[in-house]
Amino acid sequence: MAYKLLFVCLGNICRSPSAENIMNHLIEEAGLDSKIVCDSAGTSSYHIGSPPDRRMSAAAAKRRIKLKGRARQLQLADFKEFDLILAMDNQNYWDILALDRQQQYLDKVHLICDFASRYKVQEVPDPYYGGKEGFDYVIDLLLDACAGLLEYVINSDAELVRQ
């Protein structure tokens, strides 16, 4: 059975699909693509069905990462489906927890920046209304955080790696 990660931002067109595809890239490089599965979602319904933002895709392409997928909204069923749910910022974190009214899944929800080692920030800023440099920064921050997350998953679920 695969370990499942869900990345969540507001609209699911910039930060969370970037995290999903960066993580898939790192997982593939580590030869763990059959053992760890990623997806992404948004807390809002603004962009359901839309592809990743073209500016975000351009920033990722500079690092040889292709952004794939279509925006979807976070569902209550996601709490049972995924092992970890990773919020991009504090507002996303609280919106995710608000969906879990019974507070059954608090231990599954984390801020992605908790796994960063080079960047000492708590949130991934939303680059949507900013310039090109904001998208580049988000990709660099997510590369760092996803590398730390992969290390965490491997170390916390050593059985996953041995199978």
The Cα–Cα gap between 89 and 93 comes to 6
- Residues 60, 43: Cα–Cα separation, whole Å: 22
Tell me, what's the pLDDT at 1? 84
Q: How far from chain centre, in Å, is Cα 18?
A: 7
**Percent of the chain at pLDDT above 90?**
94
pLDDT of residue 158: 63
Is residue 53 annotated as a catalytic residue, yes or no? no
DSSP 90-150: HHHHHHHHHH-TT---GGGEEEGGGG-SS---SS----TTS-HHHHHHHHHHHHHHHHHHH
Confidence of residue 157 (pLDDT cuts 50, 70, 90): confident
Q: Tell me which of 9, 38, 113, 146 is the catalytic residue.
A: 9
Question: Among positive and negative, which fits the CA dihedral 124, 127, 133, 135?
Answer: positive
Query: Is the pLDDT assigned to residue 160 strictly greater than 80?
Result: no
Q: Catalytic site residue 126?
A: yes
Cα 131 from Cα 129, distance rounded (Å): 7
Mean pLDDT of 135-151: 98
Q: Choose the catalytic residue: 53, 78, 89, 126.
A: 126
pLDDT for residue 145 is more than 80: yes
Is pLDDT above 80 for 159? no
Query: Active-site residue 9, yes or no?
Result: yes
Q: Which tens digits make up the pLDDT trace of 70-113?
A: 999 999 999 999 999 999 999 999 999 999 999 999 999 999 99
93 backbone dihedrals φ, ψ, rounded to 5°: -55, -50
C-alpha 86/C-alpha 9 separation (Å) is 9
C-alpha to C-alpha distance for 135 and 143, rounded to whole angstroms:
12
From the candidates 14, 15, 55, 72, which is the catalytic residue? Answer: 15
> Per-residue pLDDT averaged across 145-150, rounded?
98
| CA separation for the pair 85, 8 (Å, rounded) | 7
